[in-house]
Amino acid sequence: MIKDLVNPTNFNILVGKLGDALTRALDQPLGYAINWGRIWSLWPVHLETACCSVEFGAASGPRYDVERFGIIEAFGSLRQCDLIVVQGTVTRKMAPRLRMVYDQMPDPKYVIAMGACAITGGLYIDSYNVLPGVDGIIPVDVYVPGCPPRPETLIQGTMLLQEKIKRSKIR
């Protein structure tokens, strides 16, 4: 009787449907779990580019504690980080190094452009040594405006990044 039910054509469809059911059953909770793990442990690279690094330092301080969100500045190597916060102006001398650092980070990686200078060049748009915005060299996920942005704004920026990660499919 089983031989009647399961013949070659039928078998493929059965396996296919079983695979679909399995994917639907596991993908969503598994994806949710993996994204949950990524959201609450974003580790930024220690790369200060310019003056906004002072507000990033203040955000790590006791009043605007970002460590409760899991954002600990990894003082080890950059091979274990997944977030790069471009803090401030990127000059032409710093740009190749920024690209190298970005390339060395493992996937998945996210970029937050912090400050007006990282978005469009800001106050220094007509300087001879400043890149007008950092999204020409690395793909940016979240733009945080301000000059410099208050630490609360930076935290809101990371929450937006968390929403974006929640919505993404895992590969």
Partner 1 sequence: MDNLEQKFNETIKMGLDIVKETEEDRLMTLSVGPQHPGSGHFRFTIKVDGDYIVYCDPDPGYVHRGEEKMCEYRNFIQNIPHLERPIIHDSTNITYSYSLAVEELANIQVPLRGQYIRALASELNRQVYTLYWLAIYGIFLGHSTMFMWPMGDRELFIDLLEALTGARVTHAFNIPGGVRNDVPEGFRDRCLRQVAYFEKRLTEYEDIFYNNPLFRQRTEGVGILTKDNAIKLGVTGSVLRASGIPFDVRKAEPYDIYNEIDFKIQYMKTCDSFARSTVPFLDMKESCHIIRQLLDKMPKSGEVRAKLQPNPKGPPGESYKRVESGRGALGYYIVSDGTPKPYRVKISVGSFRNMLALPFLLIGSKLADMPSIYWSLNYWPVEADR
Partner 2 sequence: MSSDQSNTQNGSEQKKVNSDSTQTSMSKKTEAITPEFEGDLINKIVSKFGDKIIHVIYIRPGRTKILVPSHEIVQVASFIKDTLGFDHAESVSGTDYPKDNQIEVIYHLGSYSVDKLSSQILALSTRADRNDSRLPSLINIFKSVEYHERETFEMLGVYFEGHPRNERFLLPEDWADIPPLRKEFRIKGR
In the complex, the smallest distance separating the C-beta of residue 109 from partner 1, rounded to whole angstroms, is: 14
In the complex, the smallest distance separating the C-beta of residue 46 from partner 1, rounded to whole angstroms, is: 5
Is the Cβ of residue 93 or residue 171 nearer to partner 1 in the bound state? Answer: 93
Residues 2 to 61 in contact with partner 1, rule: CB under 8 A: 45-51, 53-55, 57-58, 60-61
Is the Cβ of residue 22 or residue 147 nearer to partner 1 in the bound state? Answer: 147
**Residue 27 Cα to chain centre, angstroms:** 21
Cis amide linkage into residue 44, ω under 30° from 0: no
**Any residues with CB less than 8 A from the CB of 81 and at least 6 apart, and which?**
43, 44, 45, 74, 105, 109
How many residues sit close enough to partner 1 to count as binding (CB under 8 A)? 35
Q: Based on the shown chain and the rule CB under 8 A, indicate whether residue 137 belongs to the binding site for partner 1.
A: no
Question: Measuring CA to CA, which residue among 56, 54, 123, 121 is closest to residue 91?
Answer: 121
Binding site for partner 2 (CB under 8 A): 91-93, 126-129
